[in-house]
Amino acid sequence: GNSVTQMEGPVTLSEEAFLTINCTYTATGYPSLFWYVQYPGEGLQLLLKATKADDKGSNKGFEATYRKETTSFHLEKGSVQVSDSAVYFCALGTGSARQLTFGSGTQLTVLP
């Protein structure tokens, strides 16, 4: 079956630090990969996605590259801001099943 393993948190960084949140997956077929973010008091929202191997998703300074050979989709940002404090979820979806499979989430706190 499908599964997503995500770097455990919480992660605490200073403003302008470099961020990496690791995500690896197991899937049948050729999944699409996603990062969703949940800001305090808000619903989950899509941050970025990649639908095939070697694609790079990017948004708001965040990037993640779909690596089929290592089954990974690590999230990176070169310089985090206080406003990036949130919970980040890695997820995958496959063509035969409409639902997404989520990782357990990583809490990020950025200090000024």
Partner 1 sequence: GAGVSQSPRYKVAKRGQDVALRCDPISGHVSLFWYQQALGQGPEFLTYFQNEAQLDKSGLPSDRFFAERPEGSVSTLKIQRTQQEDSAVYLCASSLAGGQGEKLFFGSGTQLSVL
- Residues binding partner 1 (CB under 8 A): 4, 6, 31-32, 36, 41-46, 49, 51, 89, 91, 93-95, 97-105
CB of 46 to partner 1, least distance (A): 5
CB of 108 to partner 1, least distance (A): 15
User: What is the three-class DSSP state of 85?
Assistant: coil
User: How many other C-beta atoms lie within 10 A of the C-beta of residue 84?
Assistant: 20
Record the tokens describing residue 10, joined without a space. Answer: 């919480």
Cα–Cα dist 35/48, whole Å: 5
If the CB atoms of residues 17 and 100 are measured against partner 1, the closer one turns out to be: 100
- Nearest C-alpha neighbor of 15 from the set 93, 109, 98: 109
CB of 20 to partner 1, least distance (A): 19
CB of 41 to partner 1, least distance (A): 8
If the CB atoms of residues 63 and 102 are measured against partner 1, the closer one turns out to be: 102
If the CB atoms of residues 46 and 111 are measured against partner 1, the closer one turns out to be: 46
93's CB contacts (< 8 A; 6+ apart) are 31, 32, 34, 99, 100, 101
If the CB atoms of residues 14 and 45 are measured against partner 1, the closer one turns out to be: 45
